[in-house]
Structure 1
Amino acid sequence: MQANEITEVLNRPISQELLARDVARLAYVAKDGTPRNVPIAFVWNGSEIVMCTTKNAPKLPSLRENPAVALTIDTEVHPPRILLIRGRAELDPVDDIPDEYLQPTSSYEMTPEQRVEWEAEVRSLYHDGMVRIVVTPTWAKLIDFETTLPSAVEELVRQREERQRA
Structure 2
Amino acid sequence: MTIPQGSIELLDTDIAQYLLQSTNLARVSYVAADGTPRVFPMLFHWTGQVLVLATFAGARKIEAIRRRPALAVTIDEPSSPPKALLLRGTATVVGMDGIVPEYRAMHHRYAGVDQGERNVAAVDRPGVKMARISLRPAWVGVLDFQTRFPGGTTAAEFENRG
User: Which TM-score tier does this pair reach, normalised by the shorter chain?
Assistant: 0.7 to 0.9
- Report deviation, 1:60: 1.0
% of aligned pairs identical? 36
TM-score of the two chains, using structure 2 as the length reference: 0.84
State the match for 1:14 in structure 2.
15
* Structure 1 residues without counterparts, runs of 5 or longer: 161-166
- Report deviation, 1:115: 4.3
* Structure 2 residues without counterparts, runs of 5 or longer: 1-5
Amino acid at match of 1:106: R
Alpha-carbon displacement from aligned partner over 1:63-113 (angstroms, at most 9, x marks no partner): 111101100000021000000100111001111212210114434246x3x
- Report deviation, 1:152: 7.0
Q: 1:25 aligns with which of 24, 27, 41?
A: 27
Alpha-carbon displacement from aligned partner over 1:88-147 (angstroms, at most 9, x marks no partner): 11001111212210114434246x3x44432321203x7332110000101010000111
Deviates most, 147-156 or 16-25:
147-156
Contact 1:85 1:140 survives alignment (8 Å): yes
Amino acid at match of 2:124: R
State the match for 1:138 in structure 2.
138
- Give the number of aligned pairs: 153
Contact 2:27 2:73 survives alignment (8 Å): yes
TM-score of the two chains, using structure 1 as the length reference: 0.82
State the match for 1:149 in structure 2.
149
What secondary structure, in the 3-state scheme, does the structure 2 residue paired with 1:137 have?
coil
1:86 paired to 2:88:
yes
Distance in 1 separating the partners of 2:109 and 2:124: 21
Distance in 1 separating the partners of 2:34 and 2:118: 38
Give 1 or 2 for the bigger CA radius of gyration. 1
Change (3 A) 1:148 1:116: closer
CA RMSD of aligned residues (A): 2.3
Residue correspondence of structure 1 range 34-45 to structure 2 within 5 A = 34-45=36-47
